[in-house]
C-alpha cells in the first residue's frame, strides 16, 4: 500500500510568494496531521483533522498559515505571504484512530526554503 | 501541559553493542501513550515502538525495547545489537487524554553507530 504522499519534496521561493504544500493520506485513515520541523523548535504540530474537519489549529503560527482538507484523500497547507522564517521541513502524517497504538504514519516531508 | 525531555543530544555506539536513549516526561494526565520514532538522514519519520501508561509489560519490537518506569516518568529506548543502519535521529513522543490528537515530540537524540 502507498504511504503518505507529499508534494513538492522541495520548494524554493522568494519572500512574499504563496506556497502550497499538498498531502495525500493513507487510504482509510481518518486523522491527518501537519507538523513543521526546524533545528530551533524541533517538531511542532500545526494542525490536525479528523474526518476532514479541523480539530485543533492552535499550533498554526499566524494568519499567514491556512490548512484545508476538502476530502478524505487530500489536504493542503498554504502559506501566504511566505517569510524566510517559514523555512522548514513540513511533514504530513495520518493515522487510523488514536486509541491504543494509533501511530502516525509520516510522509517524506516537504522542504521549504524561503529566500 | 505535557513536556518531553531528551537530555542526550548525541551518542556514539559501536556496532553490535546495546544503546539506551533517555526520555523523561511530565504530564498530569492519568492515561497517556509514549512513542519512539526514528528519523534517518533521508528525513522520513519511522514509528518504532509504543507504550501505554497502563500497560503492565514493557513494550518490545524486535531489537527495540522500551524501559518504562512510570514512577520515575521515564521511557527509555533500548536498541540491542546495534547495526550501522541504526544511525539516525531518535525522537521520544507522548500524548495524553486531555489532547489525544496532539503527539508532542522531544528534541531528539542523534545516534551514530561505528564499525
**Residues on chain B touching A45 (C-beta within 8 angstroms):** 102-104
Q: Which three cell numbers stand for residue A2?
A: 502507498
Whole-number mean pLDDT of chain B? 94
**Is B101's CB within 8 Å of A31's CB?**
yes
Q: What's the pLDDT tens digit per position in A2-28?
A: 899 999 999 999 999 999 999 999 999
Q: What's the pLDDT tens digit per position in A66-87?
A: 999 999 999 999 999 999 999 9
Q: What is the rounded end-to-end Cα distance, in angstroms, of chain A?
A: 37
| Rounded-to-integer distance, Cα A46 and Cα B71, Å | 31
Q: What pLDDT band is residue A51 in, cutting at 50, 70 and 90?
A: very high
Task: Write the burial class of residue B63 (CB in 10 Å: 0-12 exposed, 13-18 middle, 19+ buried).
Answer: middle
What proportion of chain A, given as a percentage, has pLDDT over 90? 89
Q: What are φ and ψ of residue B22, in 5° steps?
A: -85, 145
**Residues on chain A touching B102 (C-beta within 8 angstroms):** 45, 48, 56
**Residues on chain B touching A106 (C-beta within 8 angstroms):** 37, 44-46
Q: Indicate whether A99 pLDDT > 70.
A: no
Q: Which three cell numbers stand for residue B101?
A: 490528537
Q: Residue B38's pLDDT is what?
A: 97
Q: How many residues does chain B have?
A: 115
Amino acid at each position: 500500500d502507498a504511504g503518505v504522499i507529499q508534494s513538492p519534496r522541495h520548494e524554493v521561493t522568494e519572500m512574499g510568494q504563496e506556497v502550497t504544500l499538498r498531502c495525500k493520506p493513507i487510504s482509510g485513515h481518518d486523522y491527518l496531521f501537519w507538523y513543521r520541523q526546524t533545528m530551533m523548535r524541533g517538531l511542532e504540530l500545526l494542525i490536525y483533522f479528523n474526518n476532514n474537519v479541523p480539530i485543533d489549529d492552535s499550533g498554526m503560527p499566524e494568519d499567514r498559515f491556512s490548512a484545508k482538507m476538502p476530502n478524505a484523500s487530500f489536504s493542503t497547507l498554504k502559506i501566504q505571504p511566505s517569510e524566510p522564517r517559514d523555512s522548514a521541513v513540513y511533514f504530513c502524517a495520518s493515522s487510523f484512530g488514536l486509541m491504543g497504538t494509533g501511530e502516525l504514519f509520516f510522509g517524506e516531508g516537504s522542504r521549504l526554503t524561503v529566500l | 501541559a505535557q513536556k518531553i525531555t531528551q537530555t542526550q543530544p548525541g551518542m556514539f555506539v559501536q556496532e553490535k553493542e546495546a544503546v539506551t536513549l533517555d526520555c523523561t516526561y511530565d504530564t498530569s494526565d492519568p492515561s497517556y501513550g509514549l512513542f519512539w520514532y526514528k528519523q534517518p538522514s533521508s528525513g522520513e519519520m519511522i514509528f518504532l515502538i509504543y507504550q501505554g501508561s497502563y500497560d503492565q509489560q514493557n513494550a518490545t519490537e524486535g531489537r527495540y525495547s522500551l524501559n518504562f518506569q512510570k514512577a520515575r516518568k521515564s521511557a527509555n529506548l533500548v536498541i540491542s545489537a546495534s547495526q550501522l543502519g541504526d544511525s539516525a535521529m531518535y525522537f521520544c513522543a507522548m500524548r495524553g487524554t486531555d489532547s489525544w490528537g496532539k503527539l508532542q515530540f522531544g528534541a531528539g537524540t542523534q545516534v551514530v553507530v561505528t564499525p
